[in-house]
Structure formats: C-alpha cells, structure tokens
Amino acid sequence: MQIILNPDNMQTLSLGWRREGRQIAFVPTMGALHGGHMSLISHAKSHPSFKAGRDKIVASIFVNPLQFGAGEDLTRYPRPIEADKAKCDAAGVDCLFLPTPDTLYPPHFQTTVHLSRVTQGLCGDSRPGHFDGVSTVVLKLFNIVQPHWACFGEKDFQQLAVIRRMVADLAIPVEIIPCPIVRDPDGLAMSSRNVYLSADSRQQALALPRALQEAQAQIRAGIIDLATIKPAIETHLLSQPDITIDYIEFVDRHTLTPLSVYQSGTTQLLIAIKIGRDKPVRLIDNVAL
Ligand code: AMP
C-alpha cells in the first residue's frame, strides 16, 4: 500500500492511473477506522465495473478542521494512525492519502462550497458551518484523487444528501455510492466517536437504535400520523438519565424536507442525541420507515 501525504503527489499519481486506463474508487474518512469504514472499502471494490489488478482503491484520512465548530471535539478526535494504516493495508487499499491541514488549506486558501437548502435543519442547525466544511473538503479531495466513484455511509444521512446535491449541481463526474449503516451486534451504529462513551453511557446509547426500531414497529402497526409517533420516541430516549435530544425528524429521504404523514418508500427518521454529563457525546442514527 502506498502512503501519500502531499496533495500534488496524490493528484499526479491519480492522473497517471487514469492515463493508463485504470479506474479509481475512493473512500474518504476521518480515520479511527471501524467496521463501517471497512464496509465502504468493500463496497468500493464491489462496484460492477471494478476490475481487480487494473483498478485502484484510494482511502483518505483527514480530520477536517473546517467541519468542526468552536467547542467541538477537533483536538480530541481519535487519531490511531498506525492501526488505521494496518487496517487499510489488510483491506486491500492501494493508496492511503493522508493530507495535513496546512497542505489542504495553505494560508492563501479562501474558497468555500456552500449548499443552501439541503444544509438547513437537522445537523445543519445544530452544527452551523459544518456542511460548508464537508462540501469544501470533499470537492477538494475529489479534485485531488480524481475518483470514478466514491463511497459514503448512510449513517451520515444529511451529509450523503449534501454530497449528492453538490455532485449533481456542479456536474462533478464522480458516481456517489451510498452504503448501508453498519452496527455493532447490540445495535449501536458504529462511529469513531463511540470510543468516547463510558460503559454506562454506551448502555444508555442503545436507546437510540431501539427508538428507531420502535418507530418502525409503529409504522408496521398502521400509524401514519408521524406527530403521534414522535412523543413515544421522545419518551423512550428520555427514559435514559443522561440523554438529551438534539432532534427527532421525519423527512423525505431525497430532499430532506420534513414530513407529517408517513409516505411509503420516502420516509426517513433521523435522530441526534447527546449523551453523558461532563463531556456529552453527540450520536446520530437514522432508519428508512
Ligand atoms: P467519518 O470517518 O466519520 O467521517 O466517516 C467516513 C465515512 O464512513 C462516511 O461516509 C460515513 O458516513 C461512513 N460511516 C461512518 N460510520 C458508518 C457506519 N456505522 N456504517 C456505514 N458507514 C459509516
């Protein structure tokens, strides 16, 4: 596995691969790799036009300062780089791109990608500026890595919608591959931030996937007025002493506009909570209803 730190070297390598007729699959991450990230690497390889031996898998690890707000966990975000390198190598990644903030954002850097509507509400409200940071870094990474396709997890559902919208709006020639949420056996969605959870908080956090299941059960029971499902979910989450609710939203999964009545094939439930007392950990999860 090649490891590349410098963006110019990465772009030169990718352009060379393209000239040789190779396709490039890309998995951008912030590291502290877990089963969710590894599933994206598998999806990258199982693309119908991926040809082993010819095509290349590029993963990146970059804890992007632009997408963290003041008071968020930028400095304490886990960075187990040696373990991450070993996982990428074992998973058959051809090239691991590890840029630094100074090389991606040199002092004269002044461009921001901003999407207006899809970034409103949900995490966009709780984390002002977050999606500007995400769209800006993803577009820059796409221009450096030059991928034919790139994999993103449905775990970050609004992020996926933002990236898809940006790619469509700006005619970016990259196919976006959505990948399902990978969960631990107890149901908690895998996240690099789960390492912050104490044993007790982790137990309480299971209320989050269970709340999603509870909503699914209510839909199966024939309830279609989403306003009547919401209080049951709230009660379920707030039965845990250290959980506070950031949002519970039923949205159209394509546009992220809020829904008040269940629509089969369209309704997605998205939840964000904070858990813990001293340094609360923010967790997000979602499900198709
Ligand atoms: P992150 O390192 O948290 O920025 O995530 C990098 C990519 O992995 C994003 O596309 C995430 O949506 C995806 N991802 C993170 N956790 C999971 C998970 N549990 N299941 C599937 N994809 C995930």
Active site residue 148: no
**Residue 277: per-residue pLDDT:** 86
**Residue 149: per-residue pLDDT:** 98
Buried b (16+ CB within 10 A) or exposed e, 32-55: bbbebbbbbbebbbebeebeeeeb
In ligand 1, which atom is closest to the CA atom of 192? Answer: 3
Residues 6+ apart with CB under 8 A from 177: 43, 44, 47, 149, 150, 151, 152
Residue closest to 189 by CA, chosen among 225, 155, 166, 221: 155
CA angle in degrees (0–180, nearest 5) for 29-138-187: 40
* Angle between helix 207-220 and 226-238 (nearest 10): 150
Tokens found for residue 206: 């299971």
Condensed to tens digits (0 to 9), the pLDDT of residues 240-261 reads: 999 999 999 999 999 999 999 9
Residue closest to 64 by CA, chosen among 8, 11, 109, 22: 109
Q: Collapsing DSSP states into helix, strand and coil, what is residue 70?
A: coil
**Residue 278: per-residue pLDDT:** 85
In ligand 1, which atom is closest to the CA atom of 190? Answer: 19
Nearest CA to ligand 1 atom 22: 153
Nearest CA to ligand 1 atom 7: 29
**Residue 87: per-residue pLDDT:** 98
Q: How far apart are CA 105 and CA 101, in angstroms?
A: 6
Query: Is the distance from the beta carbon of residue 130 to the nearest atom of ligand 1 less than 6 Å?
Result: no
What count of Cα atoms within 13 Å lies in the side-chain half-sphere of residue 21?
Answer: 3
Please list the ranges in the chain whose pLDDT falls under 70.
none
Q: Report DSSP state, residue 183.
A: B
**Residue 271: per-residue pLDDT:** 98
Query: Is the distance from the beta carbon of residue 37 to the nearest atom of ligand 1 less than 6 Å?
Result: yes
CA 80, 86, 91, 97 torsion: positive or negative?
positive
Share of the chain above pLDDT 70, in %: 100
Residue closest to 105 by CA, chosen among 50, 62, 54, 145: 62
In ligand 1, which atom is closest to the CA atom of 159? Answer: 12
H helix runs in the chain, sequence order = 7-19, 35-45, 81-90, 101-104, 122-126, 130-145, 157-169, 199-205, 207-220, 226-238
Q: How far apart are CA 136 and CA 131, in angstroms?
A: 8
Condensed to tens digits (0 to 9), the pLDDT of residues 157-171 reads: 999 999 999 999 999
CA angle in degrees (0–180, nearest 5) for 82-87-91: 150
Contact 166/139 with Cβ under 8 angstroms? yes
Exactly one of 37, 130, 148, 236 is catalytic; which is it?
37
**Residue 84: per-residue pLDDT:** 98
* Ligand 1 centroid to residue 228 C-alpha, Å: 31
Contact 258/230 with Cβ under 8 angstroms? no
